[in-house]
Structure 1
């Protein structure tokens, strides 16, 4: 399995959610979650929709299985279907909370899950984002942030998956 891993001294943390929670607790001065309980819950929901309901269904192992068992022409349709379902849920969830970013005008945890997922949807799986105006708008805002630009997969020297 190929998951992101953070090495921080003696700590080795794998999995995006665990890494972000570790960083949230270790560096509270750079909060990844808002103080407002409702917005905090929305961030958890958005992160969970991506991490549990969209991203696992587009992993290379799943795509290989679909390719072999169903057919090579089905993998993109499979992924597009699951991304679309997840994005429909995210669009509904975030439409009343989004500001410049997913849950307001500050970058929080939801944004850290959304940015790479939307990037993959557009670049790898050719999902039409016009049906998701809130997600498209926040993604365009992410594109302007140097930290998000630096985090793009193609800029990572060790990206192998």
Structure 2
């Protein structure tokens, strides 16, 4: 699904994020209240929730543990007039190893990234479950420009 329209569902929007956009920036705050952002892959979605994985104890994990509210942003395209952008506001939680096997099966490149220590990585990588509250899309690739808000 490369383009969205008014007939698509919240599930379709999350599928667009995981399968078309994929690379996102997750923004939150650290324990000192300072902004923190990290590039992640939107790896999986199910039941109106989005999933990423991160190492337990790293900066992103610690920020989410401290302040679960986050914003996800991303854009894709060759230039301004060929771009689509998304944003999602929501809350994130450590879901331990939930969907880890499905995530690894869907995103085969992860097996290459962790080649040689995949079983160890499965232990320290935790699934972060993101419960979207509001999402939006701004698509300049089509005329007229397409904008839409999604409420979860």
TM class, shorter-length? under 0.3
Which structure is richer in relative contact order (CA contacts within 8 A, separation 6 or more)? 2
**Higher percent of residues as strand:** 2
What's the TM-score once normalised by structure 2's chain length?
0.24
